[in-house]
Amino acid sequence: MAFLPMTAEEMKERGWERPDFVYVSGDSYVDHPSFGAAIITRVLEAEGYKVAFLAQPDWKSKKNFMQFGKPRLGFFVSAGNIDSMVAHYTVTKKKRSDDAYTAGGKTGKRPDRAVTVYSNIIKSIYPDSVVIIGGLEASLRRFAHYDYWEDRVMPSVLFDSKADILSYGMGELQTIEIANRLNEGYPLEGLYDIKGICYAVPTKDYVPQPAVDLPSYERVCQSKKDYAIAARKELEEADAVRGRKMIQRHGNYILVQNPPMPPLNTEQLDRVFSLPYERYYPPCYEELGGVPGIEEVEFSITHNRGCFGACNFCSLAFHQGRAVTVRSRESIMKEAQDFTKNPRFKGYISDVGGPTANFRLPSCKIQEKAGLCKNKRCLAPKPCKNLQVSHKEYLDILRELRSMPKVKKVFIRSGIRFDYLMEDDERQEFFRELVKYHVSGQLRVAPEHCSQAVLDKMGKPAIAVYKQFQDEFYKLTKQENKEQYVVPYLMSSHPGSTLKDAVELALFLKKENIHPKQVQDFYPTPGTISTAMFYTELDPYTLEEVYVPKNPKDKAMQRALLQYFLPQNKYIVLDALKKAGRLDLVGSGKNCLVSAPKGYFKDSDNKAQNKKKKNKFAKYSRKKPKGKK
C-alpha cells in the first residue's frame, strides 16, 4: 500500500477528481501508528474514503490549501503530534532550535496555534466546507483554558478556529461516525449527538437538556476560583462510563461537549494497528534529511492505551483517558513479525509500551461497569485496595517477542510505573527479567520529586516507594553482573514546591548519589490540573491556596538545586541556599552541597552559618545589617 497523496499530482495519479477529505497537519507526514495523523487517515481510508494529506502547508498563502480543490465532504485539521506552542517554545518561552516532527528537524514550518490558523484559512477559502479540528492541541483546548504563552484565559479553540466540530480524545470512532453521516448527507446538526465531540450553538437556539453547567468563559476570566472549579469538573466528567454532557457559555454562544466516546476495545485496537502503514516518511523527505521523530519509534510496539496513574501535570487523563485497554498478543506478534521483513530492521525492538509500559489490566473490576472513581487516584497517595496488579501477561509477551527469529533485543523505554510494579507481590520474576533483558543501559522512571507536600500536588506516590524500587533494581543488576542505571525524571517548580522543597530534593539526590543530566521545569500546558493550580494558585480539589513559584529567579534557583554539582550552577545555588536559610549546606563537608569562595558571604552570613553548624536544629533567620533599608 502506498503513502496517501500529498499533492494534486499524486491525487490524479490515483484517478481521483477530488478527495473526500483533506487532512491538514502541522507535522511532516509520517505514516506510522505512533503518529495520530497516520491513524486517523488510515482509519478513514479503511472505511472507503479518499483522503489527501496536506502536510505543513504554507500559511502565509492560500495557494497550498487549494491544491486539492474543495473536498467532497470536508477537512480534518490537526496541529500534529504535540501542541504547536510546546513544539515551538521552551518553558522559558524561548524559541526552540529544532523540531523533531519536521523534515530536516527545522523549525518554522508550522504557525503558532496551528489548528486556529489552518482552520481560519480554510474557512476563508471554502466558507461552506465542513471543518473538523482534533488532535492534542484541539482536544486540550476544548474548554476555556489558561494559555501560558499569552498569560491569560482564552476561549475554547472551537471559537477562535471557526471550525464546525471539535473531536476530542483519541478520535477513531467519532471520526468514522462523522465521516459516515456526512457521506449520507446529514446536516451539521445531524452530527450533534455523536459522543466525543464539541460543538457550539447560539444561546437563543439552545434547547435546555441535562448537562453539567460549567462556569462561563466570562466568569473563569474574572474569577480564579471559578476557573479552578471548572478545571476540576471538566476532569471529573472525562470518563466514558459515567461522564455527562457539559456546557460552557461563551458570550452569545454555548459550547456543548458530549460525553466521551468509549475507548477502543481489544478487537478495535487490533484493527487499527493492522492497517497498512508504511511505518516511515515519504521519499520526498529524504533529501531534507528525513523526519527525526521516526527514529525512536519506527520499530516500537504500542500494546496499550490509557493511564490510570492520572498525574496532575499530565494531559493523558484529559485526552486519552484513564481506562486502560490493550491489544491482543496475536496482534503484537504480527507487528513484530512484520518488523523482521523490513530491510531497515536490525533486530532491535526499541519499546513495547504505551502511556505506561507495564499496564495490561483495567485498574479494578469495579471501574469496568461504574467508571473510574471521581476525584480519586488508583495509585496515589497510596494504591487503592481494589487495584488489580499483575505482570504475568506482559512478561509472557516480552518472552515471546525476544524468542522470535531475527529479534536480538527487546527494550522497554516508554516508562515503567514503579509504584505499580512494587504493588505486585509476585514481581520478582518480571523484575529480574526486566533487568536482565529489557534495559538498554538506563531505565527511565518518574518519581518527579521527594517532598511529600509537592508529591501530593503532583498526584504522585511517596518517595519511599521509589527508594524501594531503586534498591531492588540495583540489587538485581548486581546479581546479573550488569552496568545499568535507573534514571529518574525530576521536575522543578511544580505548584506547591517551595525553595525549601527544592533544597530537600537536592539533599535527596546527593544522598542517593544521583546526578541528573536533565531536569524539567514545570511547563503549564492546557488541560491539566497542575496548570489550573499554576494559574489560580488554588488546589482545584480543595480550593485551598497553593504556593506557585513564578518569579524567573526563584524558578532558576529551584532548577539549579537539582543540578547543584554543575560548576556553572555554583553561584545561583549559593544564592538559593542563602535565601532558604541553609548556609549550613555551604562548605566542603560531606553533607554540604557546594563550597563558597573566600569572602563571598558577608560577616553576618558567616556568623549565621557557624551558628547553624553548631546546632543543626537551629533555625536560621537573617537579620538586616544596621543602616540598611
CB of 318 within 8 A of CB of 230?
no
The reported pLDDT for the residue numbered 172 is 98
CB of 34 within 8 A of CB of 350?
no
Could you identify the residue written with the cell 523484575? 431
Out of 183-187, 373-377, 398-402, 523-527, pick the least confident: 373-377
Task: Please compute, for residue 551, the number of CA atoms within 13 A of its CA located in the half-sphere on the CB side.
Answer: 7
pLDDT tens string 38-81? 999 999 999 999 999 999 999 999 999 999 999 999 999 999 99
The reported pLDDT for the residue numbered 626 is 47
Q: Identify the DSSP state of 141.
A: T
In the structure, what pLDDT confidence band is assigned to residue 127 with cuts at 50, 70 and 90?
very high
Longest dimension (CA), the chain: 87
**pTM over the 0.75 mark:** yes
The reported pLDDT for the residue numbered 612 is 53
- The arithmetic mean of pLDDT across residues 286-300, rounded, is 97
In the structure, what pLDDT confidence band is assigned to residue 605 with cuts at 50, 70 and 90?
low
CATH T-level assignment (fold) for domain 8-199: Rossmann fold (3.40.50)
Q: Which residues of 269-308 are buried (b: 16+ CB within 10 A; e: fewer)?
A: bbebbbbebbbbbbeebeeeebbbbbeebbbbbbbbbbbb
CB of 166 within 8 A of CB of 134?
yes
The reported pLDDT for the residue numbered 620 is 35
From residue 141, alpha-carbon distances to 126, 130, 318 in Å are 24, 20, 10
From residue 428, alpha-carbon distances to 362, 486, 596 in Å are 22, 17, 46
The reported pLDDT for the residue numbered 603 is 57
What's the rounded Cα separation, in Å, for the pair 378 and 391? Answer: 17
The reported pLDDT for the residue numbered 415 is 84
Grid coordinates representing 155 are 476561549
The reported pLDDT for the residue numbered 234 is 98
Share of the chain above pLDDT 70, in %: 96
Res 592 pLDDT > 60: yes
The reported pLDDT for the residue numbered 352 is 98
**Burial of 571 by CB count in 10 Å (0-12 exposed, 13-18 middle, 19+ buried)?**
middle
Res 232 pLDDT > 70: yes
**Which has more pLDDT, 610 or 590?**
590
Could you identify the residue written with the cell 531475527? 406
Domain boundaries, the chain: 8-199
What's the rounded Cα separation, in Å, for the pair 545 and 538? Answer: 5
In the structure, what pLDDT confidence band is assigned to residue 607 with cuts at 50, 70 and 90?
low
Res 543 pLDDT > 60: yes
The reported pLDDT for the residue numbered 604 is 53
What's the rounded Cα separation, in Å, for the pair 44 and 172? Answer: 9
What's the rounded Cα separation, in Å, for the pair 457 and 453? Answer: 7
Q: Identify the DSSP state of 85.
A: H
What's the rounded Cα separation, in Å, for the pair 3 and 29? Answer: 9
The reported pLDDT for the residue numbered 414 is 86
- The arithmetic mean of pLDDT across residues 329-337, rounded, is 98
- Among 169, 259, 235, residue whose Cα is nearest residue 375: 235
- The torsion defined by the Cα of 430, 434, 438 and 440, in degrees rounded to 10, comes to 170
- The torsion defined by the Cα of 213, 214, 219 and 220, in degrees rounded to 10, comes to 180
State the average pLDDT for the chain.
Answer: 94
Instruction: For residue 494, report the phi and psi dihedrals to the nearest 5 degrees.
Output: -70, 150
- Among 126, 245, 123, 252, residue whose Cα is nearest residue 192: 245
Instruction: For residue 247, report the phi and psi dihedrals to the nearest 5 degrees.
Output: -130, 150
What's the rounded Cα separation, in Å, for the pair 139 and 257? Answer: 11
Res 164 pLDDT > 60: yes
- The arithmetic mean of pLDDT across residues 363-379, rounded, is 93
- The arithmetic mean of pLDDT across residues 290-300, rounded, is 97
In the structure, what pLDDT confidence band is assigned to residue 298 with cuts at 50, 70 and 90?
very high
The reported pLDDT for the residue numbered 617 is 40
Bridge partners of 154? 145
